[in-house]
Homo-oligomer: A and B are copies of this chain.
Amino acid sequence: MIYSTLKNIKCIVLDVDGVLTNGNILVTEDGQQLRTFNVKDGYAIQYAVKQGLLIFVITGANSLGVKKRLEMLGVSEIHLGIKDKLTLLINLLSKYKVNKEHVVFIGDDMPDYQCMEYVGTAIAPADAIDDIKKLCQYISTRSGGEGVVREVLEKMLKLQGKWHSDFFLQSI
């Protein structure tokens, strides 16, 4: 991992399908599309929010369940059903006065392409498509839904001295 960069990150932007999930959708007979989330990702997200890290979620998916799960974790900027992710991202960074060099974007497929070119640090799960991986500063050893977000957030918070300083001295 790119230690020096992660130390200065202020904002993490996450895609949902293939990043927070394994990219699978369970379809019910009445047309609901249900997703599966990872508890270790969830633990790190709620912890990072409490430590003051900015976490944005920008996804093409449009699901009330996704919204409820992310709200429960304390994410305040949850943007569903987004087609032009880059325009939204630029507006959000302007609103929160964050320089794009201090932003990580974790994505896995073409709708994330432009955002991942734009931000300072692009990270992809191991099973992202090849054209996305080529853009990345770091590719996780984990696939989507298997703790990619946990890995990045835990490493980042440890580097910033914010990971459970109550329990143990930071080991990096």
Residues of A within 8 A of B (CB): 17-18, 21, 23-40, 42-43, 63-66, 68-69, 108-111, 113-114, 129, 131, 145, 150, 154, 164, 167-168, 171
Distance to closest chain B CB from A35 (angstroms): 6
Assembled-state Cα–Cα distance A20/B45 (Å): 22
Distance to closest chain B CB from A140 (angstroms): 15
The residues of B that contact A28 with a CB separation of less than 8 Å are 32, 34, 65
A29 near B29: Cβ-Cβ < 8 Å: no
Q: Closest residue to A117 on the B side, CB-wise?
A: B167
Distance to closest chain B CB from A130 (angstroms): 9
Shortest 5 CB-CB contacts between residues of A and residues of B: A27-B65, A17-B39, A31-B68, A23-B39, A29-B65
